[in-house]
Amino acid sequence: MISKLNLRCLLNSYRSFTFVKATSATASRPGSHLCRTINRCSATDQRSMATLTEVVSTLKKMAPLSLAESWDNVGLLVEPEVRKPVGRVFLTNDLTEDVLEEAVSVDTDLIISYHPPVFAPFKRITSDAWKSRIVSRCLSRGIAIYSPHTSWDAVENGLTDWLISCFDGTVSTIQPLNINPEFSHVVTLSASLSDNTPLSGIEIKAIVESSDFQADKHFKVVHYNNSQLQVLCNSSSLLTLNKVAKSSKCNLFFYANKNESLPSSNMGAGRYCQFRNELTINAAIEKIKCHLGVDNLMIALARGSTLESTIDSAAAVAGSGASVLRGVDAGLYLTGEMSHHDVLDAVHNKVTVVLANHSNTERNYLNVFAGRLLEEMPQLNVHVSKVDRDPLMFV
C-alpha cells in the first residue's frame, strides 16, 4: 500500500502535458482512470472556444491584477492584431525560446507565462535579442501572452499558499496586503423640501444623479433609508456633488469621510505555518522535495542545529524571498534564492534556510492552476510545458 507522502512524490515527479476536463461518458467506461483521461488530447475543433477577452477576464477574476506588486508588469502583455478564438492555452513558468518552440508545436493561442517575458521597456523589436525575438514570433503567429506573476503570489489559495501546503498546520500571511478601495470617499447625503419635509434616499439619488454624476460610474450606492443616502465616490466627484448641492432647489447636505484601505488577513506576500506537530529538519526537507518534485535542495542549518533537530514552524516565499522573510520568527525559511549575507543572518538567528532555486518553488503550481482554469473554462485545452525548467542545476 502506497503512503500519501510517496503518492505525492510520484505525482509531482510526473509533469503532465495536456489537461482536458473529464466527461461523464469517459469516466463511466470500464477501466477508465481520471489521470489517464486528464492527459488525453482532444481535438480543439470539437470543442467550443472562447475569445481572448473572455479568457483574460477569467484570469483576472482568479487573481486580480490589483494584488500584484507596484513594480511588477502583469496582465496581457502581447495582443496580436488579428483576433482569433482561444482554444489552446499553454502554461509555463518562464517563456524561453525553447519553451516557445514547444508552444508553437501544439498550436497554442495563448501563453500564460508566470514570469513576465516583457519587463524592461523595449526600444526596438529585432532579431538580435532573445526576448524581442519571442515577442516578434508570437505576434507573427497570432499568439497572445499573459503574465500573472506576483498577483498569483498574493492571492488567497494561490501560489504561495500552495508552496506552504507541504506542511500541516495553521497558515497566516506574513505581509498582509493593503487593499486599496475602488472609491476614495464615503459620502452621506440628506435632503429636505422648503417646508423641511425630509426626502428618502431614493429621492435624493434622483436629485444628485446627472450626466456628470452617474450611479455605477461616478458613484456607488451602499445604503439608503427614509432620510439618507450613502454612496462611495472619488475626490473628483466631490466637486461635482458640491455644485449639485449649491444649485439644488432642495436643502441638500452631505459630509464625506476618507475610505481607508484595509489590510487583508488572507492575501499578501509570504506565508507562515505553525505546525500541528513538530518535525525534524530532515523530515521537513523530505516533504519539501516531494512537494516541489525535486531531488536536491540547498540547506543552511540554523546555528547549533542538526538534521535531527526539531522545528515547529516554517515561512515560505516563492522565488526570491529574503526581503519578506527577513526577521520572521520561524524554524525554517523556504524560498528559491537568498543572498549569502541573508542566509548568514538567518542561521545566526536560529533559522534553517532551504533554497530550491528560484523557479523550482513556483513551477509545480502550474499543474494546480491548469486544473482550476479548466474548472472555470472547461471548453479550453490547457497544456503545461515539459521543456520549462530552472536554468540552474545541481551537478
Strand partners, 230: 188, 223
How far is 107 from 94, CA to CA, in rounded Å? 18
The Cβ-side half-sphere exposure at 207, using a 13 Å CA radius, reads: 27
**Does the annotation place 195 within a ligand binding site?**
no
Edge-to-edge order in the sheet of strand 262-280 = 169-179, 262-280, 310-316, 332-335, 352-355, 298-300
486544473: which residue's cell? 371
Residue 182 assigned ligand-binding role:
no
Check whether 348 is labelled as a binding-site residue: no
Would you say 219 and 183 are in contact if contact means Cβ atoms under 8 Å apart? yes
Residues with Cβ within 8 Å of residue 337, at least 6 apart in sequence: 319, 320, 355, 357, 358
Report which residue type is found at 118.
V
Per the DSSP assignment, residues forming a β-bridge with 337 are: 320
The answer to whether 189 and 227 are in contact (CB under 8 A) is no
Q: How far apart are CA 109 and CA 145, in angstroms?
A: 9
CB-based contact 113:103 (threshold 8 Å): no
Tell me the binding residues. 115, 153, 358, 362
Tell me the binding residues for a divalent metal cation. 115, 153, 358, 362
